[in-house]
Structure 1
């Protein structure tokens, strides 16, 4: 079982600035707790023991919060600091310098997706995958890009948001397992988008597979879903 995870927690959260102004997006308060607490608890519950936080904007707020033992849920925490915005790809490639194992789960710092990481890990091993995505079916085809898989679950394409005419699509749920060896196999500039430059740009070369999960999914990146999260997540962490 993979026991390390990278949390992407360095974004500016510009779409949430109308309601969350003074903290980085993962620290936005949801049902009385920073959203990051739900991610940390989820990872601990799924037997992750070490977390690399890719941080940048207002990172001291995250570091102060996690300096308290009760907010770490038993997880070892290290930081990969972005002195400048590196994009999702640059952040992940840099964070892998802090990992100990040959693979790690990647988790978006603004997404909650209640799946079994052990199941995703097993799925990746079964398919000898370099990348294994937790996928989610949704009807919000204008907000998300879609993922198309073959009958054996191999990913065939990533389509940008707003380009699908289907009423129901399958999306990247914001959690995936990635092998560290991809960094050497696909060297990239310091700043790049993992979604556009690696996933979309190298789809045919990647040994990437995806599995759909039915768990609760919420992306707090826009105000309306941030408000939905208040109800969806209020009981996810036991009192």
Structure 2
């Protein structure tokens, strides 16, 4: 089986010329086809070693590239054109998106940053697309903006209706947190009109934080230049001071899955959500403690106990007597007989030997070979390594 990088080598490096589109029928109640911008420009350093092989948005989350969860939800609300703001490994992104653009029947184009432009600059770079309709005429239709790290139920229809009802320039999706002192808090009135932002408040002012999902009218583009700009620190406060920015509270789970611990926690929250929303997608039967998601091509040995909160990808092979919980097994990985896998992400084509043990947010990169009877305690192992001795030091990086 080809690795993601080998597949990417078959594609052109000139991604600005790449777009994919096919027409489809949309919901009748939508006034117009919509657009969205997804911010995928980060280097993914927090999710290494996985992002040494592929860009973060196409690391599989629940057995599909994480960005696909967003695209599927956008399609449901009538978005038929998506701009990906990229500046890292663009060829790999385009390779993956080629297949998915056809599956989803969406046009996908690329806005390439020659330098990192922060969270607002990419909007200005893509302004010509976001402010016009498909015929190139000026458009007043709102557009979505998403951070690619975010996973949640994506209530885009309700979000769009809320934005249109208040009639102002922008809307932020916010989520409630237990400890707001760790975040920047969004303070709004009872109607959702944002009054101010408070960074890491030591006195309680609210418990709602920016969830990284927005809807804007094209007029916001007049506020932003093609230069490094923070939408949170520079653009939003100005909009709020003018009464042009509202917030809507997200119902349900939310997680930024940009680092391993949160990736594993996000998997737990997502699988819990799926167990209620679409339980037919989950694996049932003897040896499974739900919720567990298993690709049909995976092979699982006898006398295994798997779950809760496990995803098993394409072509995964699991030996006999294996115990797995709170873990992610990416495509074509293997786990030997009688191994114990807890709180781990096992990379593509990697192989744990017999009687191995992982724990404490272990992350194993692509094509790593771990010999029999090895313990890995919270290490990060870079791709293409052979591990023949236990790693006891939590947080160690094996290069």
Q: Taking structure 2 as the reference length, what is the TM-score of the superposition?
A: 0.55
Name the CA distance, whole Å, in 2 between partners of 1:120 and 1:33: 25
Q: Residue 104 in 1 paired to residue 143 in 2?
A: yes
1:175 paired residue among 209, 213, 219: 213
Q: Residue 60 in 1 paired to residue 91 in 2?
A: yes
Superposition deviation, residue 193 in structure 1:
0.8
Name the CA distance, whole Å, in 1 between partners of 2:243 and 2:267: 37
SS at match of 2:251: coil
Change (3 A) 1:110 1:159: same
Superposition deviation, residue 115 in structure 1:
3.4
2:153 paired residue among 108, 114, 118: 114
SS at match of 1:67: helix
Q: Residue 5 in 1 paired to residue 36 in 2?
A: yes
Partner of residue 223, structure 1: 260
Change (3 A) 1:175 1:142: same
Superposition deviation, residue 145 in structure 1:
1.4
SS at match of 1:192: coil
The question of whether the paired residues in 2 share the 8 Å contact of 1:113 and 1:215 is answered with: yes
Name the CA distance, whole Å, in 2 between partners of 1:202 and 1:116: 23
Partner of residue 194, structure 1: 231
Gaps of 5+ in 2: 1-29, 134-138, 282-294, 296-399
Change (3 A) 1:233 1:83: same
Name the CA distance, whole Å, in 1 between partners of 2:119 and 2:256: 16
Moved more, 116-125 or 85-94: 116-125
Name the CA distance, whole Å, in 2 between partners of 1:202 and 1:8: 20
Q: Residue 39 in 1 paired to residue 77 in 2?
A: no
RMSD across aligned positions (CA) = 2.4
Larger-Rg structure: 2
Runs of 4+ more than 4 Å apart: 69-72, 234-239
SS at match of 2:85: strand
Partner of residue 172, structure 2: 133
Note the alpha carbon deviations across 1:2-34, whole angstroms, 9 max, x for none.
621111111112222255432222122223222
Change (3 A) 1:49 1:187: closer
Q: Residue 208 in 1 paired to residue 245 in 2?
A: yes
Change (3 A) 1:96 1:188: closer
Superposition deviation, residue 216 in structure 1:
2.5
2:189 paired residue among 150, 157, 166: 150
The question of whether the paired residues in 1 share the 8 Å contact of 2:36 and 2:145 is answered with: yes
Change (3 A) 1:49 1:215: farther
Gaps of 5+ in 1: none
Superposition deviation, residue 71 in structure 1:
6.5
Superposition deviation, residue 230 in structure 1:
2.7
Name the CA distance, whole Å, in 2 between partners of 1:166 and 1:18: 37
Name the CA distance, whole Å, in 2 between partners of 1:60 and 1:72: 19
Name the CA distance, whole Å, in 2 between partners of 1:132 and 1:90: 18
